[in-house]
Homo-oligomer: A and B are copies of this chain.
Amino acid sequence: MAYGLARRELRPRVPLRPGEGDKHGLTSLQGLAALSLDALSSVAYGPEAIVLALVVAGTGALTATLPITLAITFLLAALVVSYGQVIAVHPDGGGAYAVAKTDLGGTASLLAAASLVVDYVLTVAVSLAAGADALASAFPALGRDKLLVCLIGLALLTAVNLRGIAESARVLMLPTLLFIVSILGVILLGLLRSHPVALVGTDRPVHATEALGALVVLKAFSSGCSALTGVEAIANAVPTFRPPSVRRAQRTELMLGALLGVMLIGLAVLIHRDHVAPRDGVTVLAQLTAGAYGTGWPYYVTNLLVTLVLALAANTSFGGLPVLMSLLARDHRLPHLFGLRAERPVYRYGVVALALLAALLLVATDADTHRLLPLFAIGVFIGFTLSQAGLVRHWATQRPPGWKRRALINGTGAVLTTLAGVILLLTKFLGGAWVVVLAVPLLMLLFARIQRYYTAVGRELGLGRTPDPPPRHLGSLVIVPIGEVSKLARHALGAALALGDEVVAVAVHADPARVRALEEAWERWNPGVRLDIVNSPHRSLVQPVVDYVQRAAEGGRQVAVLIPEVEPVHRRYEILQNQRGLLLATVLRARTDVVVCLLPYRLKL
C-alpha cells in the first residue's frame, strides 16, 4: 500500500544524472511490476479475512465468499475508473496529502496526512504479520515465534533504510512478476484439478456462533476491503512513467485492476468449490497453493515468494512515510527535524519513527494479522474518499467539457468508498477501528498545534519583516575555563586571543594545594592572560563557573566562554574525555545568554 507519495519513493534516492529520469521512465508493464506490489500482495490476507469473518456462522456460510468478493471487485472497478481521472488531473502525482491541500484546503489536508501516517504504519505492521504467516505456512516451526520473526524483519528493513538504499523500481519487477505468475498458477491449476485441496496445517473445529445475517455479511465485506489497499499507488507515481505518462499510467491502473480482480475472484471460486475453511498453522492462500501445486517444492517457493513480496510491500512505507513527514515538516506541521538529512540522503528521524510505531503495533497485537486488519482499511478509505471528493470539487470549479459525467464518476467513487468506509467503521469499531478513530483526530490536532507554534515563533522572530541593524557591543570578553597548564590550555588561549578584545582564564579548585601549584605553573608559563581562581566549597565544578560567567555578562560586552575539547582518534575513547566541558557547555546554554564556544584539540591517540 504505497499510499500518497509513491512518486518520490520510487525515484532512486541517489540523485539522477540530468535527463536520466525521462529516458529511463517506466513502460506500462514495468510500471505494473513496480507499482502493483502493495495492491497485489493484499491477496495474501484479503480473501482469508472474508473466510474468517464468515466462518462464525458455520462452514456453510463460506458459500457467501464468492458474492462478497464480487461486490468488492465491483468497488475495485469503480475505484479504477475513478483513479483513471485522478491520473489525468494530477499528472505530477503527489498523493492524497498534496491533492487535498490544493483542492480541499487545510482541514482536509490534515485529515489526509493523519490517515496517511496511520496507513503507512499499518502497512508495515500488516505486511510483516502476513509475511510471517506465509513463512510459518512453509516452516511451521516459525509459527510459535511470529512476533519475533516480524520484529527481526522490521529491524532489517529499518537498518537497510537508515543506510539509504539506492532503491530502483526495476529491482521490484522480478519478484512481482514471479508472484503474479505463481498466484495465477494457483488459480489455473486449482481450477483444473477437480479433487479437493491437499491438507496442510491442522484442523480447526468450527462452531457456528451466529446466523448468516446481514451483519456477518457486512463484516465479511469490510474485512475483504483490505484487499483494495494499494490501488492508488499508480496515481501517485504518474511522473515516473515514460511519456506519454498519463496514458501509460491509466493503462497500468486498468491492468492492475484487472489482475487484482481476476486474482480475487479466482481465489474466491476455489474457496467456494473446495469449501476451504480456516486451518491452524497455514493461511488460506497456502491451502489453495497446496491444493494446486501439492506440498512439494513449488509450495515452498510460492510461500517464500509471498513472504518476500509482503516484505517489499512493507518496505514501500519506508520510502513513503519519511518523505510525507518531511513534507509535513516543511509545512511546519511536524518538528523540522523530520525534514533533516545529514550524512546520507535519508530522513532518518522519519525512518526511526516509522519503525518504532510499527513495532509498537506488532507488539500490541502480538503480530496477529487479523487483529491488525480492522485498523487497516479505515485510513485507506479516508484517502480514497478525499481523492475522489477533491476531484469532484475540481470538476465543479473548472467545468471542462464533459465535467458533469466526470464528476459523476468520481462522485460515485466517493460515495461508494464513503459507504464502504462507514460499513468498515461500524462493523469493526470495537474490533480495533476505534484506535484509528482516536489516532486520526489526535494526529490532526498535533499537526495543527505544531503549525500554530511555528507560526507564533515566526511572528516573534519577525520573519518577513526587515529587522533593525545588528546591535553594537562594547567590545568582547572571552572566558577560558582552565584545568591545568598544558598544550590544551595553550591551544584554547590562542583561539580566545584571536576572538576576544579581552581574554581571561578561570580555574575552579577546591583544594588550596592544587590552586597554589596551578598559580605557580601559570606564572612560569606567563601566557599574557590573567588567571582567575573561583572557589568551590561544595566541590561542584560547574556552578562556580556559571556564577562567574553570569557576573561577567552583566556589563555591555559580548561575553563568550571558550571550552577546549580533547578529541581522541578512536571513538571508543570519547567516553574518557570532555564530559566536564560538555556538561559546562550544557549548563551555560541553559542558564546564561553568553556565546558558548567549543574548540577541538585532536589527539594523536
Which A residues lie at the B interface, using CB under 8 A?
15, 335-337, 340-343, 345, 450, 453-454, 456-457, 460-463, 466-473, 475-476, 478, 484-491, 493-495, 497-500, 521, 524-529, 537-543, 557-558, 560, 562, 565-568, 573, 575-577, 579-580, 583, 585, 587, 589, 592-593, 595-600, 602-605
Contact = CB atoms under 8 A, between A and B. Distances in A.
Given A497-B473, A576-B335, A587-B342, A600 B605 contact: no
Nearest to A475: B498
Contacts of A478: 499
Nearest to A575: B335
Q: Which of A467, A469, A558, A587 has the most CB of B within 10 A?
A: A467
B521 A340 contact: no
A462 B475 contact: no
A472 B491 CA distance: 10
A382 to B, nearest CB: 27
B472 A605 contact: no
A565 B468 CA distance: 19
Nearest to A605: B456
A490 B473 CA distance: 13
Contacts of A475: 498
B499 A500 contact: yes
Given A540-B341, A595-B499, A600-B589, A490 B472 contact: no
A96 to B, nearest CB: 24
Query: How many subunits of this chain does the assembly comprise?
Result: 2
A600 B565 CA distance: 20
A538 B346 CA distance: 11
Contact of A528 (B470, B565, B583): B470
Nearest to A561: B597
A128 to B, nearest CB: 28
Nearest to A522: B466
A415 B341 CA distance: 65
A597 B560 contact: yes
B476 A461 contact: no
A601 to B, nearest CB: 8
Contacts of A579: 335-337, 340
17 contacts: A335-B579, A336-B579, A336-B580, A337-B579, A342-B540, A343-B542, A457-B603, A457-B605, A461-B566, A470-B494, A473-B498, A475-B498, A495-B560, A589-B598, A593-B600, A595-B599, A596-B597
A351 to B, nearest CB: 15
A307 to B, nearest CB: 33
A341 to B, nearest CB: 6
B342 A557 contact: no
A486 B453 CA distance: 17
A460 B605 contact: yes
A557 to B, nearest CB: 7
B596 A598 contact: yes
Contacts of A592: 600
Nearest to A454: B576
Given A566-B457, A576-B450, A589-B600, A489 B467 contact: yes
B598 A499 contact: no
A497 B469 contact: no
A540 B340 CA distance: 8
A466 B498 contact: no
